[in-house]
Structure 1
Amino acid sequence: MAPSELISLADDEGNSVTVTVSGRDPRWSAGLAAEIAIRTPFVTGRLDLALYASKLDGWKEALDRLDAGQDVAWMEMSRGPSLRIQLNGERDCPEVVVDDESGSMVTVRVPILLPEDWIADHRQRLRQVMDHWIPLLSASRSE
């Protein structure tokens, strides 16, 4: 089975933000179709997303900065949604901010109590997604 869950940030309060890869993007052979899903007791939403190798590299860099104690913004300079992680949010816990300024013009801020090992877990998730999907994307470009 292909690895699909690139990001899974969730807590026991029912708050979560996930990024799930569903396969090759049918509109662009060098990209992956994915979605960002937000679930809280108050708001639920989802947003389609196209991922490609440089965005996955950007997530790796973001994880490195988070590990060094820095807040990050992932995909901030591209079209489509961005995801920011603030380690010390407004409610004295980490917050994930999903911003869809170029589409729906909606921003959702989700406080999430993260486990101690969440960065290591996400490095493993990224490695699994890249090991499986990047060779397939590279092969489709050379066909």
Structure 2
Amino acid sequence: MGDIVPRELISLADDEGNSVTVNVLGRDPRWSAGLAAEIVVRTPFVSGRIDLVLSTSDLTSWADALNRLDAGEDVAWMEWGRGPSFWIQLSGERDCPEVVVEDESGSMVTVRVPLVPPDDWIAAHQQRSHRVMAHWVPLLSAS
């Protein structure tokens, strides 16, 4: 079990078929200090994916965002980057959490996904974030 490479940084899904995931694909071939990753959105209505590159500071800011979510705050992640932006609003327009993915610099598309994750989703994502960082950050630091 220790040999399993942690790939899912974010995995939010509900019983209605809505999901948003951020998967680490491996080291970025163009930037030794970056990880190739993707955001995948799936709903019964619309599905899509977009590539992104994550740095150590992106992983750290996601861990910080989880702490703010745990304190009851909405968060923006990668809001000022050159790629897609990612928001989590704890009480969205439909009185449930919403994930908003915006690709303003590329396709100029914004997707808003309401979903009802399990009660322990923040704690589960804190553990997921820790596993991803423990595995990938030393590899990026060795570059």
- Report the TM-score when normalising by structure 1: 0.97
Select which of 101, 104, 123 maps to 2:107: 104
Corresponding residue for residue 15 of structure 2: 12
Q: What root-mean-square deviation, in Å, do the aligned CA atoms of Structure 1 and Structure 2 show?
A: 0.5
- Alpha-carbon offset, residue 77 of structure 1: 1.1
Tell me the residue number matched to 1:133.
136
Once the two structures are TM-superposed, the CA of residue 59 in structure 1 deviates from its matched residue by 0.3
Residue 19 (structure 1) shift: 0.1
CA distance in 1 between partners of 2:75 and 2:137 (Å): 24
One-letter code aligned to 1:32: L
1:114 offset after TM fit, Å? Answer: 1.3
Residue identity over aligned pairs, in percent, reads 74
Unpaired runs of at least 5, structure 2 = none
* Letter matched to residue 129 of structure 1: V
Runs of 4+ in structure 1 off by over 6 angstroms are none
For residues 59 and 81 of structure 2, the distance between their equivalents in structure 1, rounded to whole angstroms, comes to 13
**Residue equivalent to 2:45:** 42
Aligned AA for 2:54?
A: L
1:20-74 deviation digits (Å, cap 9, x = unpaired): 0010000100000000000000000000010010001110110011001010000
Q: Secondary structure at the match of 1:134?
A: helix
- 1:25-104 matches, within 5 Å, as 25-104=28-107
Letter in 2 for 1:46: R
Q: Verify: 1:21 aligned to 2:24, yes or no.
A: yes
Deviation string 1:84-132 (CA, Å, 9 cap, x unpaired) is 0000000111000000001110000000101110001001111111100
Structure 1 portions without partners, runs of 5+: none
